[in-house]
Amino acid sequence: MLKNRQEGLISLHGFCVTALLGAFYLAWVSITQASGFVTFATDTNLKLYFLAVIGGTLISSRTYRTMGGRLGYLNWMELVQLTQRQLVRIALVLFAVAFATKDAYISRMFLGSFLAASAFVLYLLNCFLPGILSHVFFKDNSVRTLFIGSADDVRKLKGWIQQKAHLGVEPVGYLCNEAESQVIDGLPLFGRIEDIDHVLADHRIGQIVFLQFYLDRDHSNRVIQAAQRAGCRVRLYNNLNSYYEHPITVDHEGEYTFFTLDDEPLENPVNRIQKRILDIAVSLPVVLFVLPPLTILVWIIQRIQSPGPIFYPQLRSGINKRRFNIWKFRTMHVASQTKDQMRIQAKVGDARVYPFGRFMRRTSLDELPQFINVLLGNMSVAGPRPHMIEHDEEFAKMLRNYYSRHYVKPGITGLAQSKGFRGEISEVSLLEKRVGYDLLYINQWSLFLDIKILFATARQVLFPPKTAY
């Protein structure tokens, strides 16, 4: 039911946006003509461009599918992304028409001003139109919903309830077999599972949502049979995440359905190509134009403060646990770089670090030679930070999913570092947070996420957090 309502909302939204933007195009022609902002030549084929706007908007409606499941409760950043994607497609169609027809009469000023104004119109439509359509079609067709599960698990559905409210989901209460009675975010406890028949009748329930592993097979069948007798819809909430204490991803492969612990967008070759292009585009200018003069500067200061090799190679573990040498500017005195000493993580005021080395570590300048690793292909500009081999083995004993970080190439920076998690890992909670962000990155990778990480890291280079030393 909810899937069909959402798909209908997407289709209606696409149709209305197409019609309204077409009407806006006609209005913009009139406004610019009346104001004298643009003068159209007599041979300008405005009808052709009207059709191009309609066609471009229809093509752009495909972008709803990428966010369509959340249309109606997108945040402002997602609304901006959606509007940008729509505008790019409309602009491409308009300029393709101008190029194909070799139209020398159409005003580029008109097209530019129309696209600029359309960005504002599209944003408003994406922001408010889904709510208006939902109000028209679903307000008087709401579905009174009963939840079945433990209080804690029902509480976890709060976000889902809020997200589906615009589709007519009306939560009225819940059933559970625990003795303690409590109200959850306004949801009253109606009783135990055996009370389901009279609860369905007394409260005019139209939909049941119950947790898949809360009831055994016999009790689950009884709930389904009671719902069928009452003409009530049933929706199973798959709580495998709680059952296995790990996020679960569903893979539909024809008639087969599988559950997997990780999504891994970077297993898609197209995504890997995009990421590799970004890696080269960022690392090549750094290696050619930034690294050479910086290396000379570091060499000069090292000669004064801590003579020895400029670079410090260290064995690390990369994608699929393949080992490689990571390159850094040396930040510690040569005498401190024994194998036993290097196993000890750097601390605040560490005597092994010479003064300029401390500055490089704080500003992450010592990491710049790793752009060579990026060009060689054993690292990426963004990804989980690689740790020492000995630390890998130590951390893997603390967290069972630690080695899942090795599904992708390690990065010069990562999602955890962009959130401020840098420096010494002094307690298990810090390791859990870092690995948690690493796994989130692996499962939710996008090119846009990589770019966000790079900008966030650049900001931290300029304003280092207290954990950088």
CA–CA–CA angle 142, 145, 151 (5° rounding): 145
**Whether 171 and 123 share a structural domain:** no
**Whether 363 and 435 share a structural domain:** yes
**Whether 405 and 351 share a structural domain:** yes
Token representation of residue 5: 């309502």
Q: Which long-range contacts (CB under 8 A, 24 or more apart) does 279-285 make?
A: 279/374, 279/375, 279/380, 279/381, 280/374, 280/375, 282/371, 282/374, 282/381, 282/454, 283/371, 283/372, 283/374, 283/375, 283/381, 284/375
Cβ atoms 379, 326 nearer than 8 A: yes
Q: Is 168 left (phi over 0), alpha (psi -120 to 50) or beta?
A: left
Q: How far is CA 69 from the centre of its chain?
A: 14
Token representation of residue 77: 């950043």
- Residue at 305 is within a domain: yes
**Whether 350 and 397 share a structural domain:** yes
- Residue at 469 is within a domain: no
Nearest to 372 by CA among 279, 467, 248, 307: 279
The one-character DSSP state at 306 is: S
- Residue at 250 is within a domain: no
Largest CA-CA distance found in the chain, in angstroms, rounded: 86
Neighbouring CB atoms inside 10 A of 355's CB total 11
Q: Tell me which residue range forms the domain holding 348.
A: 267-462
- Each residue's pLDDT tens digit in the chain (469 positions)? 677 888 888 888 889 999 999 999 999 888 888 887 777 666 677 888 889 899 888 888 777 766 656 788 888 888 898 899 899 999 999 888 888 887 777 777 888 889 999 999 999 999 999 889 888 888 778 888 999 888 888 888 888 888 888 888 889 988 888 766 677 778 888 888 888 988 998 888 989 988 777 788 888 888 889 888 888 888 888 767 666 666 677 777 777 777 777 778 998 899 999 999 999 999 999 999 999 999 999 999 999 999 999 998 999 999 989 999 999 999 988 876 666 666 666 666 678 889 999 999 888 899 999 999 999 999 999 999 999 898 899 999 988 889 989 999 999 999 998 888 876 677 888 888 999 999 999 989 999 999 999 999 888 777 766 655 4
Token representation of residue 116: 């600029």
Question: Considering 108, 139, 170, which residue would you say is the last residue of a domain?
Answer: 139
**Whether 194 and 228 share a structural domain:** yes
**Whether 320 and 433 share a structural domain:** yes
**Whether 217 and 273 share a structural domain:** no
Cβ atoms 112, 138 nearer than 8 A: no
**Whether 279 and 208 share a structural domain:** no
- Residue at 467 is within a domain: no
How many domains does the chain fold into?
Answer: 3
**Whether 154 and 126 share a structural domain:** no
List, in order, residues 6 or more apart from 249 with CB less than 8 Å away.
259, 260, 261, 262, 263, 443
**Whether 355 and 292 share a structural domain:** yes
List, in order, residues 6 or more apart from 106 with CB less than 8 Å away.
44, 45, 49, 98
Token representation of residue 429: 């909670």
Question: Considering 104, 139, 174, which residue would you say is the last residue of a domain?
Answer: 139
For residues 454 and 209, what is the distance between their CA atoms, to the nearest angstrom?
41
**Measuring CA to CA, how many Å separate 385 from each of 217, 285, 379, 406, 465?**
45, 22, 10, 10, 17
For residues 448 and 438, what is the distance between their CA atoms, to the nearest angstrom?
16
**Whether 380 and 437 share a structural domain:** yes
CA–CA–CA angle 234, 237, 240 (5° rounding): 150
Residue given tokens 């809360």 in the structure block: 214
- Residue at 257 is within a domain: no
Nearest to 457 by CA among 408, 405, 419: 419
**Whether 124 and 42 share a structural domain:** yes
For residues 417 and 433, what is the distance between their CA atoms, to the nearest angstrom?
11
Between helix 46-60 and helix 76-100 the angle, nearest 10°, is: 140
